């Protein structure tokens, strides 16, 4: 497996709209494995293919939640090929989101609290599931990436400007 380079703002590749995957094959499975390895290496919980310069509708997520409170995180990776939001709830929730493409920067983002998602797994099997909590937030965040949208697009210009100034200062400090 290979650790891929994660694109960071303002890389124009982050605004690319990913194309659907035509066939689930060994190349797609290898890409998903590389994406998972990259996500774990960067200590993230989700990664979209566009974040590593691949314009295909691929997402990997692993919330790495412990089995019991205070326990060690457990890896339960989920791979999504051609994920699609079928519906979202009217009820919303707020989460302090971060992004591997905008390192060490966080902002509270309001999104639908629940969503119904359809996707193919690494074997080409179709799934449809209602998601809530952190998984609903994460899959919406990653599908946004596939559509060229960043979490900073969901916050005010003022908050976005402050966040980008903090990122510039962090980069300058090395």
Active site residue: 8, 84, 97, 142, which one? 142
Query: Measured in Å, how far apart are the chain's first and last C-alpha atoms?
Result: 28
Query: Any catalytic annotation for residue 110?
Result: no
Q: Are 79 and 69 in contact (CB under 8 A)?
A: no
- Catalytic amino acids? 142
């Amino acid at each position: 497996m290979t650790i891929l380079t994660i694109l960071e703002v303002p890389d124009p590749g982050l605004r690319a709209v990913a194309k659907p995957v035509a066939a689930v094959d060994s190349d797609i499975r290898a890409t998903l494995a590389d994406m998972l390895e990259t996500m774990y290496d960067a200590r993230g919980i989700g990664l979209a293919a566009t974040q590593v310069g691949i314009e295909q509708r691929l997402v990997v997520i692993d919330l790495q939640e412990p089995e019991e409170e205070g326990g060690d995180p457990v890896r339960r990776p989920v791979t999504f090929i051609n994920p699609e939001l079928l519906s979202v709830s009217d009820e919303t929730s707020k989460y302090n989101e971060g992004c591997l493409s905008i390192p060490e920067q966080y902002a509270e983002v309001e999104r639908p609290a629940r969503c119904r998602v359809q996707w193919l797994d690494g074997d080409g099997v179709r799934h449809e599931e209602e998601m809530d909590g952190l998984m609903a937030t994460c899959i919406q965040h990653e599908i946004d990436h596939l559509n060229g949208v960043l979490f900073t697009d969901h916050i005010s210009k003022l908050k976005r400007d402050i966040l980008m100034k903090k990122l510039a200062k962090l980069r300058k400090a090395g």
